[in-house]
Structure 1
Amino acid sequence: MKQSAERIAPPFPLGSSAHFAGHPELPDYLEKNYWWAYLHPAAVRFFDRPWMVNLILWGNFKRLRDLALAELDTPIDQNVLQIACVYGDFTPRLLTALAPGGTLDVVDVAPIQIDNLRAKLQPDAPVRLHRQDASCLHFPDESFEAVVLFFLLHEQPEAVRRATLAEALRVTRPGGRVIIVDYHQPRRRNPLRYVMAPILKHLEPFAMDLWHNEIGSYLPASRPLSSLTKETCFGSLYQKVVISR
């Protein structure tokens, strides 16, 4: 496993908005709207607990995690890109399903999130961590067979969301898949529709976009797709979209 350990990127210095050579600055929308969830050390310690992550998702974290991972055909022998770190055990569980021929790269724009994820992984974990902006990835075209976005798009302004999806498709190989799990507009008879609306409007200023628009509407028209499928769960509060190139 020594070879695997060498694949882990070196630690990044922690900070809120410092710019390091070759690394992007934190986006303004992230610092303004999500400092309380992702950038403050106390927030990371508070939110990255299994019971808290599950509570935020109304007891559905495991179900939603497994919905995403089921699209990767375990054991995973693909080159996989995870765009943005995820609280909870999403990445560790993905790694347990990784076959010897598979690879995992994870990107995040926030140094504190990269450092937090590193702390959850074994020293010899076969993963590469990168500080990159999701809307401007540094990977060559068609680098990955699968790209995963787990509850990221609802946190992004429309222009950033469009750029992130365009980048996800750009780095996906023909025949590969982009796997998205995120919020969706609940059915009218779902009581959480009337609970979640004010919560999201107050805490997640861009999340309601996914209630009113299909994820497919944010995809670039210039890039041909093989297929797009969507399924919803928990009274349609959540959705999984799989885009095949």
Structure 2
Amino acid sequence: MGLGKLLHGHHEHADGGGTIDRPRAYDAFATIGFLGARRAAFTRLATAARPRAGDRVLDVGCGTGYLTRILSPVVTPTGHVTGLDPSPAMIDHARDRASANCTYVVGEGQSLPFPDGSFDLVVSSLAVHHMPTGARPEALRQMFRVLRPGGRLLIAEFRPPANPLARRVIGLLSGPAMRHDPQDLLGTMIPDAGFQVEAEGELPHLLYYVRATRPQ
């Protein structure tokens, strides 16, 4: 059994989406996959998102809550971080480790259970490729809806290594979902949802990001 199947369990979609239902295995795999630099990688992501004290933040596809726990002290006790994931196992794991200003909700990105304009910042890291292909544009529209005017968005995805052998190894370990080119994966979904793209580019540790805003 490949690591992709080990992590996903039995909740996989035929069109490339799926949930991860083994949080401890996922955290162990992430530690290995980032070569011991997971904290540094996600700190860079948090910095790229530009959180502010007092922000209301939503992490779509939060998994075990790793990024939420990095963001929570930055937004200070006056802010709040909400993590959402379709896997109850991941949400339970995140709740067990929650910071005081973090809460977690079971749900899907394409059907966010929050009112319009609820958040100042929406982030989503390594999650879009787990969504069913047909649901991804709606997920971006939902992120737009729950952001206040002027709110910010950060989407980060895995960037396969340039070395062909390394790419093959990644594919064997994680399955086809991690072989994508992130620019092809995201395509024009972010501007099509109404966002104004401000910046995009590569980060260390094989990450690619897009930062955007909801126009005023």
Give TM class, smaller chain. 0.7 to 0.9
SS of 2:115 mapped into structure 1: coil
Task: Tell me how far apart the structure 2 counterparts of residues 63 and 179 of structure 1 sit (CA, whole Å).
Answer: 17
- The one-letter code matched in structure 2 to 1:70 is T
The corresponding residue for 1:85 is: 62
Structure 2 length normalisation: TM-score? Answer: 0.78
Q: Deviations over 1:192-224 (max 9, x none)?
A: 334324444xx2x43444456052423363x43
Structure 1 length normalisation: TM-score? Answer: 0.70
Matches within 5 A, 1:154-193: 154-187=129-162, 189=163, 192-193=166-167
Which stretch of structure 1 is more off in the superposition, 59-68 or 140-149? 59-68
Q: 1:145 to 1:76 in 2, by over 3 A?
A: same
Matches within 5 A, 1:105-184: 105-122=82-99, 125-184=100-159
Indicate the structure with greater helix content.
Answer: 2
Q: 1:72 to 1:113 in 2, by over 3 A?
A: same
- The one-letter code matched in structure 1 to 2:24 is R
Offset of residue 72 of structure 1: 4.5
The corresponding residue for 1:29 is: 13
The corresponding residue for 1:229 is: 199
| Percentage of matched positions with identical amino acids | 23
Q: Is the 8 A contact 2:64 2:93 kept in 1?
A: no
**Alignment gaps of 5+ in structure 2:** 1-9
The corresponding residue for 2:170 is: 196
Q: Is the 8 A contact 1:76 1:97 kept in 2?
A: yes
The corresponding residue for 2:38 is: 61
Offset of residue 152 of structure 1: 0.4
Task: Tell me how far apart the structure 2 counterparts of residues 33 and 118 of structure 1 sit (CA, whole Å).
Answer: 24
Does 2:214 correspond to 1:240?
no
The corresponding residue for 1:96 is: 73
Q: Deviations over 1:79-122 (max 9, x none)?
A: 10011233474222222222232111111222211111111125
Alignment length (residue pairs): 204
Task: Tell me how far apart the structure 1 counterparts of residues 166 and 153 of structure 2 sit (CA, whole Å).
Answer: 28
Offset of residue 148 of structure 1: 0.9
Does 2:185 correspond to 1:219?
no
Q: 1:230 to 1:95 in 2, by over 3 A?
A: same
Offset of residue 238 of structure 1: 1.8
SS of 2:31 mapped into structure 1: helix
Does 2:21 correspond to 1:47?
no
Task: Tell me how far apart the structure 2 counterparts of residues 159 and 62 of structure 1 sit (CA, whole Å).
Answer: 32
Whose Rg is larger?
1
RMSD in angstroms over aligned alpha carbons? 3.0
